[in-house]
Structure 1
Amino acid sequence: MTARNEEAEGWILVIGSVNVDLVLSVVRHPEPGETLAGTGSRRSPGGKGANQACAAARLGGDVRFAGRTGIGADADLALDLLRDAGADLSATDQMPDVETGLAVVTVDEAGENSIVIIPGANGSWTPEHVRELGDAVAASDLVVSQGEIPALAVDQIAQLCATTGTRFLLNLAPVIDVAVSTLATADPLVVNEPEGRLALTALTGDTAPEEDAGTVRGLREAGVRSVVMTRGARGALVSVDATTTEISSPRVHAVDTTGAGDAFVGALALGLARGERVEDACRLAVRVGAYSVTRGGAQPSYPRPSDVLPG
């Protein structure tokens, strides 16, 4: 690992996806079968794992990122802002025989997005690759992963965390077919509204309630240690023990919602690694997420400690 930041109090290991984002700006999203002229395009670093690592590192966290890319210009672009943020990339591998992951993001004038992902090197993760990170997991205060790498790899991350006693934050986005034991290890499980309902149905086999609080309560009753449900402009719901707390988000004018959930997770991870209560870490996370939507792109929109957060 790189030299530790003296002001930081906890090591964060993020294991997950790294992409190049191709962002297309449109007045509105096209209908099926429709050809629509866009208003602009840009390429920038992305991927949920890299985004979350970058968000935590930009805020001053000690972050090690384990990802997999191809080689060449796309790999350099995908990792550029992580390097700039000071993240340790010694556990990130470049694969000569696969392409770097790609996300095609369409953003309309209201700031809402739709995303299509080509996994590329992110899909090459195996349980064996994860086991090679055993020492890094044991040395970390918090491990973070997401649903953009294969489910078997995520299951292995959860097993390593259970064995080493390392806290595991799982952002089940997108929802993939991980083991029940993986969901039970997550502390917290972070989902948005539809992801939460899908996860609850996967756990119980029953249709999840439409009410967000009911879904969160159901996940806890199904054995998840703690749950954080992100709700966009409405903030988040946090369930720890038998209580559910609503965390409101500052009101802002959204320019681009791409990567806002990852900004939230990165800030949440930073607070948890520093020993904060989940509810307190979420209060910072909603402000960081709100800040990010007022600027374009994912990683380029994330704040640094000197930036003034809304709320």
Structure 2
Amino acid sequence: MNKVTILGSLNVDTILRIKRFPKPGETLPLIGKSIAGGGKGANQAIAAARAGAHTTFIGKVGQDQAGDFMVKQLTDSGVDDQFVQHSSEADTGSAIIMLDNSSENRILIDGGTNQQVTPADVDLAQSAIAESDFLIAQFETPQATTTHAFELAHAAKKRTILNPAPATTEVPAALLKLTDLIIPNETETETLTGVHVTDEHSMIKAAEACQALGVANVIITVGSKGAFWMRGQKHGFVPAYKVNAVDTTAAGDTFIGALSSVLTTDFSNLAEAVRFANRASSLAVQKLGAQPSIPTEAAILAAERA
């Protein structure tokens, strides 16, 4: 069983279902509304735990009902919450997700307490990082905090995984050099490298650009098409499983969490781990909501056998 520590965000998602996205100045009626747990960090942690990893979370919530709700989402899935801090200085993070009939989404985020996670908060979890196989982070918490966490991980000779999302052009060079595996989607890849991903040739070029920035191992996710991987000079493409998607909100987070549960620390099984992660994502997109849709290890293995 892999041990995974995740530094990241916790958001309460409000999901607004609409037939199509409104035009500027246009008012449209909702066809449904629901509340669910979210935040890239929390999604990835729950995905890792449900896929079988021993998972610990580093993050921050407000002293409010939303914070209590989010901590319960973690613990109900078996995530260790001892390093989730409570703050009275801001509300728990939240997101508004517009989901149309074609399963496309548009998301607005209020970072709240996610933006208050500090290096000192990470220091409290130093022992958990040192005992982990992987430390995972995203860009919904401060990058300075992530850089500090990755420094601690490397000092303990632990592997780091960076999901550079949401996309930003302002990524510290020091953080990339501390990253052992980077997992962007097409948009994040282009923002990071300047390479527009359209085919295998451009994926290779983009992955090589990531390696030039200091990241030896790269996975580029391309939605319903699948995922490209590069490890050193070796590379390949793992097609996605074909399913009828209902909600793609947590597909990428499910991929990363599931991947971390089976990946070896020398990355020698990268292609096999990507295949397992693809299967997990294929199950997640068939249900509504971020965290409610994330599958368990039993469900993933059953789908593999089917």
CA 1:79–1:309: 2 relative to 1, 3 Å: farther
* 222-231 or 127-136, larger mean C-alpha shift: 127-136
Question: What is the CA distance between 1:209 and its match in structure 2?
Answer: 4.2
**Partners of 1:127 and 1:144 in 2: CA distance:** 15
The RMSD of aligned alpha carbons is 1.6
Aligned equivalents of 2:48, 2:27: Cα separation in 1: 38
**2:79 paired with 1:92:** no
SS in 2 for 1:92: strand
Deviating above 3 A after TM superposition, structure 1's stretches of 4 or more consecutive aligned residues are: 273-276
The normalised TM-score by structure 2 is 0.92
Structure 1 alignment gaps of length 5 or more = 1-8, 201-206
AA partner of residue 288 (structure 2): G
Instruction: Say how many residue pairs are matched.
Output: 297
Residue 17 (1) aligns with residue 9 (2): yes
Look up the match of 2:195.
208
Give the Cα separation in 2 of the matches to 1:65 and 1:12.
9
Of 126-135 and 43-52, the range deviating more from structure 2: 126-135
Question: Quick one: distance in 2 between partners of 1:260 and 1:86?
Answer: 20
Question: Do structure 1's residue 188 and structure 2's residue 181 form an aligned pair?
Answer: yes
SS in 2 for 1:89: strand
* 1:204-241 alpha-carbon deviations (Å, 9 max, x no partner): xxx42443332122212332111111111111000101
Between the two proteins, what is the percent identity of the paired residues?
Answer: 33
TM-score, L = length of structure 1? 0.91
2:253 pairs with 1:262: yes
Deviation at 1:273, TM superposition (A): 5.6
| Superposed CA offset, 1:256-302 (max 9, x none) | 00111000000011112677622211110011011100000111001
Deviation string 1:15-45 (CA, Å, 9 cap, x unpaired) is: 1100100000000111222221111111110
Q: Residue 80 of structure 1: CA displacement?
A: 2.5
Q: Distance in 1 between matches of 2:265 and 2:233?
A: 23
Distance (whole Å) between structure 2 residues aligned to residue 131 and residue 152 of structure 1: 13
5+ residue gaps, structure 2, are none
Q: How does 1:24-43 map to 2 (within 5 A)?
A: 24-43=16-35
**For 1:109 and 1:27, how far apart are their aligned partners in 2?**
5
| Post-superposition offset of 1:61 | 1.4
SS in 2 for 1:169: strand
Alignment of 1:247 with 2:235, yes or no, is no
Comparing 238-247 with 176-185, greater Cα deviation is found at: 176-185
